Amino acid sequence: MSQIITLPHADRFFEIRLESIGGLGAHAAGQVLATAAVLRMGLNGAHFSSYGSEKKGSLVRSFVRLGPAERPIRNSAPVETPDAIVVFHAALLRSPATLAGLRKDGTFIYNAPPGVVPEELAALPRTARVIRVNALGIAMEEKSRPNAVLLGALSGQFPFLDTGKILEALSEEFAGKHPEAVASNERAFRRGATDFEVLEGVGHAEGDLPAARPEPAWGYETQPVGGIVPEPGNMAWNDLTASRIGLMPVLDREKCIHCGLCDLVCPDYCLSWGDGEPGGKFERELMGVDYRYCKGCLRCVESCPTGALTKETETAGLADRLRVPLFPDLIP
Ligand code: SF4
Ligand code: SF4
């Protein structure tokens, strides 16, 4: 006979929102969790994701709704007032929508190495549980991916979630497609379930956070006449910061011979050039990288013939300190 599982709230579903960017595996993590809940734990569950442009680096939200077996889930709307939020990339903390709707007794898990707590998290409920997991660091050590670590972290926070069964589902997911990854994912999952920090005194908000329901900037009564677009969108307004997953190129100008090979291979034109010294050897010199546009593919590092560009671990604030803006007049 299967064990009866008691969910935390008898009067409503347990809802989880995974906040991520394309390529970090939030959709797969939500799918594994819901599959384990339905097929192995005897719960009812629903899982779906919303994507932006469906490309690596764009915003992804994955939603999981769990309930007792006897209560059908007929709601397929996005999770607006979650019991748990898991943030796959610390850059997403800059957006208030990432925190929106968290319940006052909710759990907030985010991926970041130990260090200063971002000031944005003061907007969390005072009574919420805040967990920090160095998911990227653990994933790199275990040759796994952050989603396995964060799934372990999430599972480990709630007694009704059976970590053994979720781990079985995770292993089964990979056994068919990538059998070589099963053992490393298992290690990453187990470390996520135990290797985390509980942060105290982070949030200052009282009560549940309001849900985010973005309104269009203009309606039919307020939009400018004549088809004018006062704020045209273009690539200069893009911010690909959240596409980097822990590594970034760093330039040592002493070693640079300004050959431009890095610029030839960069898919996002994020290398900043300036005039060389008057009468000097180079007419144009590489000044640095505009990390606002850098997605961390590291092709520039691979192509650099002198080792002037190196692959470095991205620590908090490093990109902001080293950034050489391409459009200093346009973007602060
Ligand atoms: S490829 Fe290397 S040496 Fe050439 S411009 Fe780029 S950083 Fe400088
Ligand atoms: S890692 Fe290098 S090649 Fe890739 S986007 Fe950044 S600057 Fe361009």
Rounded mean pLDDT of 243-250?
A: 86
pLDDT tens digit sequence for 206-234? 999 999 887 777 788 887 777 777 666 66
Q: What is the CATH number of domain 14-199?
A: 3.40.920.10
Judged against a pLDDT cut of 80, whether residue 4 lies above it is answered with no
Q: What is the pTM of this model?
A: 0.78
Alpha-carbon distances, residue 94 vs 119, 120, 194, 322 (angstroms) = 9, 7, 27, 19
Ligand 2: residues within 6 Å at CB? Answer: 249, 265-266, 268, 270-271, 289, 294-300
pLDDT tens digit sequence for 147-203? 999 999 999 999 999 999 999 999 998 887 788 889 999 999 999 999 999 999 999
Nearest residue (CA) to ligand 1, atom 5: 258
User: Where in the chain do CATH 3.40.920.10 domains reside?
Assistant: 14-199
Q: How large is the angle between the packed helices 26-39 and 163-177, nearest 10 degrees?
A: 120
User: Where in the chain do CATH 3.30.70.3270 domains reside?
Assistant: 235-322
Of 288, 298, 299, the C-alpha closest to 326 is 288
Judged against a pLDDT cut of 50, whether residue 1 lies above it is answered with no
Rounded mean pLDDT of 274-291?
A: 92
Nearest residue (CA) to ligand 1, atom 2: 304
Average pLDDT, the chain: 89
Fold of 235-322: Alpha-Beta Plaits (3.30.70)
Q: CB of 188 within 8 A of CB of 142?
A: yes
Q: Which helix (H) or strand (E) holds 44?
A: strand 44-51
Q: Which helix (H) or strand (E) holds 130?
A: strand 129-133
**Nearest atom in ligand 2 to 248's CA:** 1
Rounded mean pLDDT of 261-278?
A: 93
- Cα 287 to its chain centre, rounded Å, is 29
Most confident of 44-58, 104-118, 314-328: 104-118
Count other Cβ atoms within 10 Å, centred on residue 236: 12
